[in-house]
Chains A and B, each alone.
Chain A
Amino acid sequence: DTAVSQTPKYLVTQMGNDKSIKCEQNLGHDTMYWYKQDSKKFLKIMFSYNNKELIINETVPNRFSPKSPDKAHLNLHINSLELGDSAVYFCASSQGVNQPQHFGDGTRLSIL
């Protein structure tokens, strides 16, 4: 059973479009995250939710909007996609902020 699953795995779209990435975890964790990994492999946290409440919102354009309908799901919606949004986006979860994080397989977003 996949612990943290993200869909889609690949996303190729045009500049200006709106897209969503979904994430679900079946580990019973309270905390979920979105990370962006660029071509240099730098892992940058974007958002963190604890029990459906936003606890971290790093310096991210407001075109990015996370939504957590319940503590097992954290989705990411992106409006007006730009070339610089091309990256791999990872969802992760943990049982508390000081506990090990479990990552999904990533969503590879390419903007044409």
Chain B
Amino acid sequence: GQQVMQIPQYQHVQEGEDFTTYCNSSTTLSNIQWYKQRPGGHPVFLIQLVKSGEVKKQKRLTFQFGEAKKNSSLHITATQTTDVGTYFCAGLRQAGTALIFGKGTTLSVSS
């Protein structure tokens, strides 16, 4: 069935280093959303990408949607300890009825 693959599953960085998580779908997506879940918390919506090749920025976070609308990435520049958590991508397949979540990338940051 439809899957959204996300890598890596875990990533540990030193504070100040950059971080990237990647998301790939086996089929074309209508849109892709990114969520962040802090330890012990609930997923919180970050951003939605709709257009082919779209790039959006939120401060140190850069989100990209691939030209074929099958892949996406989240890049964090100069990580901080407040970036700790699990980042999920979630794709809506075309004519789909639900978001399909990737398995998440858990980021840990040491100072």
A residues in contact (CB < 8 Å) with B: 33, 40-45, 48, 55-56, 90, 92, 97-98, 100-106
Contacts and interface: CB of A to CB of B under 8 A. Distances in A.
Contacts of A90: 42-43
B97 interface: yes
A43 B104 contact: yes
A109 to B, nearest CB: 15
Contacts, number: 52
Interface string B46-58: 0010000000000
Contacts of B42: 90, 103-106
Interface residues of B, number: 23
Given A92-B43, A98-B92, 16 more contacts: A33-B98, A41-B86, A41-B103, A41-B106, A42-B103, A43-B104, A48-B98, A56-B97, A97-B92, A97-B96, A97-B97, A97-B99, A100-B48, A101-B33, A101-B99, A104-B42
A43 B43 CA distance: 10
A2 to B, nearest CB: 11
Contacts of A55: 97-98
Interface string B12-54: 0000000000000000001101010100011111001000000
